[in-house]
């Protein structure tokens, strides 16, 4: 397995007659990422994994500085996976030139006016910017994304449609720790006490889903969730929403097909998100 900082150099090793699966990541790889990479390897002759902590998708410089960077460990995890696996780990200047852009060129409409889009002002502009740049370099047949960032998947599906990119976006299920916590690179930043409380996001979603399936009023379900977090002093709840999976708009009444629960909370300084189909 080879690692490249420069895409032109990587490209020389790819066989243009063979299909490419692409897994964009920001590194600090865990089993969730590995599940995406294995899925790509299963369906494509060649797999490219990018490892790039994208500065333009962070609103908070503290969050960017804290983001775990573990390239050596990441490469060790990938080494045994497959021969036809290439890692693209560019510097910021390779992606953005001398300075990252300051414009917001994308319009994803209502998809960005909710949840992460409200809490993190330029986040999805930054995600779309880097993903479009990477897609245009790698030009894969398929790209693999984890459902933990479900709103991100809907943005990227929309990006691909808006830009007429011929890339299949493959949604992959959330991979969880045994206690239910959704795997995330940020989990490594939790203190032992925070880590022990972190599964609350998953248990809250499970409880809310059970109430939803009994058709309890949506307002009551939301109120119950807020009460749980009022009694959990290490947490600060950002949002709990029940939305339709396509447009990501709030569901207010039953029947509610294709509903999904979404939750974001700060645990100490670390922001965690989770979601589940209802
Ligand atoms: O999901 C992520 O890790 C990032 O948002 C992505 C898609 C690699 C873009 O930087």
pLDDT of residue 103: 79
C-beta 158 within 6 A of ligand 1: no
Please tell me whether residues 164 and 246 are part of one structural domain: no
Our answer on whether the CB atom of 261 is closer than 6 Å to any ligand 1 atom is no
Angle 227-233-239 from CA coordinates, rounded to 5°: 50
DSSP 67: S
> 10-residue block means of pLDDT along the chain (278 residues)?
93 96 97 97 97 94 91 93 91 91 88 94 94 97 98 98 98 98 95 98 98 97 98 97 97 95 96 97
Q: Is the pTM of this model over 0.85?
A: yes
Active site residues: 33
Co-location of 16 and 100 in the same domain: yes
Q: What is the pLDDT of residue 88?
A: 98
Within a domain: residue 180? no
Ligand 1 atom with the smallest distance to the CA of 26 is 3
How big is the chain, counted in residues? 278
Does ligand 1 lie within 6 Å of residue 184's CB atom?
Answer: no
Residues 152 and 231 in one domain: no
Q: How far apart are CA 36 and CA 29, in angstroms?
A: 11
Which runs of E-coded beta strand occur in the chain?
A: 2-4, 20-25, 46-51, 85-88, 142-146, 168-172, 235-244, 259-267, 270-277
Identify the CA nearest to 265 among candidates 48, 53, 119: 119
Task: Note the pLDDT of residue 99.
Answer: 81
Residue 179 domain-assigned (yes or no): no
User: What is the domain count for the chain?
Assistant: 2
- Per-residue model confidence (pLDDT) at position 133: 97
Structural domain harbouring 208: 185-277
Residue at 194 is within a domain: yes
Give me the CATH number covering residue 207. Answer: 3.30.1300.10
Residue 41's contacts (CB-CB under 8 Å, 6 or more residues apart) are 21, 47, 81, 82, 84, 85
Query: C-alpha distances in angstroms, 15 versus 42, 54, 132, 203?
Result: 17, 28, 22, 46
Measured CA distances, 87 to 47, 74, 138, 183, 190 (Å): 9, 10, 11, 21, 28
């Amino acid at each position: 397995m080879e690692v490249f900082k420069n895409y032109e150099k990587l490209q020389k090793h790819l066989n243009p007659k063979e299909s490419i699966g692409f897994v964009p990541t920001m590194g600090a790889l865990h089993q969730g990422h590995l599940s995406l990479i294995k899925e790509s390897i299963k369906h494509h002759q060649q797999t490219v994994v990018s490892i790039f902590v994208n500065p333009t998708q962070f609103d908070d410089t503290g969050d960017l500085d804290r983001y775990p960077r573990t390239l050596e460990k990441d490469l060790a995890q990938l080494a045994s996976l497959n021969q036809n696996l290439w890692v693209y780990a560019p510097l910021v200047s390779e992606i953005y030139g001398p300075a990252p852009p300051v414009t917001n060129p994308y319009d994803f409409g209502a998809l960005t006016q909710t949840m992460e889009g409200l809490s993190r002002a330029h986040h999805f502009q930054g995600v779309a910017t880097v993903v479009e740049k990477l897609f245009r370099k790698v030009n894969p047949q398929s790209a693999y994304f984890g459902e933990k960032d479900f709103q991100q998947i809907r943005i990227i599906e929309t990006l691909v449609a808006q830009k007429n990119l011929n890339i299949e976006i493959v949604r992959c299920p959330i991979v969880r720790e045994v206690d239910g916590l959704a795997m995330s690179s940020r989990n490594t930043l939790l203190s032992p006490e925070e880590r022990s409380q972190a599964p609350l996001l998953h248990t809250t979603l499970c409880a809310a889903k059970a109430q939803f399936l009994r058709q309890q009023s949506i307002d009551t379900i939301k109120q119950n969730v807020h009460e749980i977090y009022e009694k959990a002093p290490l947490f600060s709840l950002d949002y709990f929403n029940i939305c339709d999976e396509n447009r990501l708009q709030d569901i207010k009444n039953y029947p509610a097909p294709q509903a999904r629960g979404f939750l974001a909370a700060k645990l100490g300084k670390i922001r965690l998100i989770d979601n589940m189909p209802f």
